[in-house]
A and B are shown apart, each in its own frame.
Chain A
């Protein structure tokens, strides 16, 4: 999918070289680029007061997921999930990106390793 879009972009660039409609082309490329990125599903989690927000995050099945974790606390946390087989440190006031999937439908718990009493959440894949 992405490859095809890239090919289309490159071909239209060659065609457009001699044309005057560069503005339209730029717009088209922007749309195409957005389409290409849409191949990844973007999801976001916030950590505040050592808790996840939302506690339950729903994402689509069978699609690669780009999960952004935004730590608004001043202290570091480790985003971890045994079910998702992921672990990544997020520093105080920092953000991280974690790539997941494509996943099968189901419930995938995750937690903050440094504050396990409060930092608990579930990724719901539908």
Chain B
């Protein structure tokens, strides 16, 4: 049960951390629970479908279907986060001011919440499909219902608990800096996901590694440790990155930072304004 619980925990943790950041970034938005909930629901359904078609996906495009699928959905998540981060950079200050005003309702306006729904769904789908395949294997090799149910419960409770810890930790950031802080977190998250996408494209031999191992910091912080894994999800930490991964990381981080700078100060400021969605 412990082994099952640990594997489920590791997968749930990755998704939970991403959901926590999304929740923090949508703080105070009316009805965001429904958006995040829908993302989790859609991701869970997607995970079951993907697990069911795992053989077909793996065999597609002469054996590199799995890598292509992962890379494409990771890059889709990167695009969604980038869009949202740039939108927030131009509207975040107003949002913070509205939230400080007593009793004022925050208007979500045309904020691209659907983009974040997709990010949540993708995070849950990727980790969830692994859990489904793993549990299917456990069940097929005769693990008892109790063992599987116990493992799922342990894993989900543990992963979600750490997600909540991160969320409440983030809520401690002073309101003045809150949205710029969550926005930078989103930027790092996107850069990390882009680096993961690059790794899949290298694994499929579609991109050259540009150096298989630029550094090796596994002695200091292993990818497999709890902190290493949390940082892997949050900021894209990799103990042994390939050159192409660093390139993807840097390009994504720079592109989003540039977008935030370019449009960040273009907002019309407080007062009547038109919410222009990207």
Contacts and interface: CB of A to CB of B under 8 A. Distances in A.
Interface of A: 64, 74-78, 82-83, 85-86, 88-92, 94, 96-99, 101-104, 113-114, 116-117
Interface string B6-18: 0100000000000
B205 A82 contact: no
Nearest to B64: A97
B140 A74 contact: yes
Contact of B212 (A101, A116, A117): A101
Interface of B: 3, 7, 54-55, 58-59, 63-64, 66-67, 130, 133-134, 136-138, 140-141, 199, 202-205, 212-213, 218, 222-224, 238-242
Task: Give the top 9 A-B pairs by smallest Cβ distance, nearest first.
Answer: A75-B137, A99-B205, A91-B55, A76-B133, A97-B63, A76-B137, A75-B140, A82-B223, A114-B134
A3 B202 CA distance: 20
A74 B141 CA distance: 9
B239 A99 contact: no
Given A89-B133, A94-B55, A114-B137, A82 B240 contact: yes
Contacts of A99: 202-205
Given A75-B137, A76-B136, A113-B7, A82 B54 contact: no
A74 B133 CA distance: 12
Contacts of A83: 218, 240
A114 B59 CA distance: 20
A89 B130 contact: yes
A83 B217 CA distance: 11
Nearest to B11: A113
17 contacts: A75-B136, A75-B140, A75-B141, A76-B134, A76-B136, A76-B137, A78-B130, A78-B134, A82-B239, A82-B240, A89-B58, A92-B137, A96-B58, A98-B203, A99-B202, A103-B212, A114-B133
Contacts of B58: 89-91, 94, 96
Given A89-B130, A99-B205, A116-B3, 19 more contacts: A75-B137, A75-B141, A76-B134, A78-B130, A82-B218, A82-B222, A82-B240, A83-B218, A88-B67, A88-B203, A89-B54, A91-B55, A91-B58, A97-B63, A99-B204, A113-B7, A113-B134, A114-B7, A114-B138
Given A85-B240, A114-B7, A76 B54 contact: yes
